[in-house]
Amino acid sequence: MAQADRVLVREFDSWLRGQATIAAPTPGEESALFGELLKVAASQRMDLRSPIGVVALVELFGDLDESEQDGATGAAIATLHDYVHFRMETEVDPAGWEDAHDLVEEAAEDLLNDSLPGAEILAAAAAEADLIDPAERRAAFAATRVVAAVNELLKWIGVGRKVAPSGGARRADIAAVAKLLGISAVGVAKLPQFAPDSLPLIAVDEAHAQPGTLHVRSMLELPLLSAWWEALSAVEIIELGTYRVTPGPAAQQWTAEPLPPLDAAEMVIALTVAQFVHRDLTASTAHFGAEAGLIALSQLIDALSPEESEPQEELSEWEMTLDRRVRRDLAPLERVGVLTVNDRGQHVVPLALRGAVSGGLAGAMTLLLDGDEPD
């Protein structure tokens, strides 16, 4: 490797060490991979010191047959994505690098989508939703409880509220915040020895699908509520400090009109779905979570195009038990208006919400593939 390339690798490595998140497990692994990419680029007469060279290398990976694309291709694209961010932050004039960033990000999304189960359904749902009038989508978003309750939460927060060490609502505040999403819960220091209203290990009848007041020690034990809280933080509607939650930079824009901003509302729904599905369904190994998670993901993907889904075959007793568990797990999404049930008993995502929900499901599967664990 040329001396100039070694210097560039060291500079990139130093930048990586200052980032909160990077593509590889360690800065050393990622900078080493970048060194290999410099060699590949040199062999193809491409210069990664210029946006044009990065674009050319990304297009080279994109031209590979699907059979030739593997995990190494994804790692290379992810490293180039970080590298472009490095150049954007360190260049005097980052304009050209911004264009390169858009192409690298698109290539990364394409690779990821091709690897996700139901990728075609997710893409079709998003495309179909984009054809709906924005005003209709905005009204549909506002009709969901996860969007409608935001103003209520901001009113409750006021100028600021104390939070738990985890960053969530304090135990004393869990009941008030949970109520905003239609969840009946109370924060306790210790769970009761016997709580007939608690969730059973397996829901054995429909009566268990509608639990009473839940006793929880932390907001994290309420997957939908904690997912919503994290989504609002990510969109900067609320701002979480070490000790307090306050209205975030986007709060004023959110409350400026009767209906919330279209893009922000869509993001709240997508991020809430992503965190909820990942945490409560796919990440859990307790209570038959792994098996139920696969069924839940399948049902949610089918819910994006229920018109095309096949009638459900007769289930075995064990499958019926898991199906009841899944219906119980997905009930919170029904209660906040993200899901409905048709006359065939199938889950259905309302048409105007399908773009947001498809983005959320893709996000959940991205978290799962990346191996991220919920906080």
Query: What residue segments make up the domains of the chain, in order of their start?
Result: 3-115, 127-370
Count Cα atoms within 13 angstroms, Cβ side, for 117: 13
| Mean predicted confidence (pLDDT) in 56-62 | 83
Tokens describing residue 142? 């506002």
| Confidence band of 72 (pLDDT split at 50, 70, 90) | low
The type of residue at 298 is: S
Mean pLDDT taken over the chain: 81
Judge whether residue 198 has pLDDT over 90.
no
The type of residue at 234 is: A
Sign of CA dihedral 89, 93, 95, 99: negative
The CA distance from 219 to 99, in Å, is 41
Q: What is the pLDDT of residue 100?
A: 86
Give the containing element (helix H, strand E) for 186: strand 185-187
Judge whether residue 193 has pLDDT over 70.
no
Mapped onto helix, strand or coil, the DSSP state of residue 163 is strand
| Confidence band of 164 (pLDDT split at 50, 70, 90) | very high
pTM of the complete model: 0.65
What confidence tens digit (pLDDT) does each residue in 175-185 have?
999 999 999 99
Residue 338: closest CA among 196, 228, 239, 220: 228
Q: What is the pLDDT of residue 207?
A: 35
Residue 301: closest CA among 123, 110, 108, 147: 123
Q: Which of 44-53, 121-130, 165-174, 198-207 has the lowest mean pLDDT?
A: 198-207
What confidence tens digit (pLDDT) does each residue in 244-269 have?
999 999 999 999 998 999 999 999 99
Q: What is the pLDDT of residue 73?
A: 72
Q: Are 361 and 122 in contact (CB under 8 A)?
A: yes
**Most confident region among 62-76, 84-98, 143-157, 321-335 by mean pLDDT:** 143-157
What confidence tens digit (pLDDT) does each residue in 262-303 have?
999 999 999 999 889 887 554 444 445 555 666 777 888 889
Mapped onto helix, strand or coil, the DSSP state of residue 347 is strand
The type of residue at 148 is: A
Integer angstrom CA distances of residue 86 from 33, 49, 79, 115: 15, 11, 10, 27
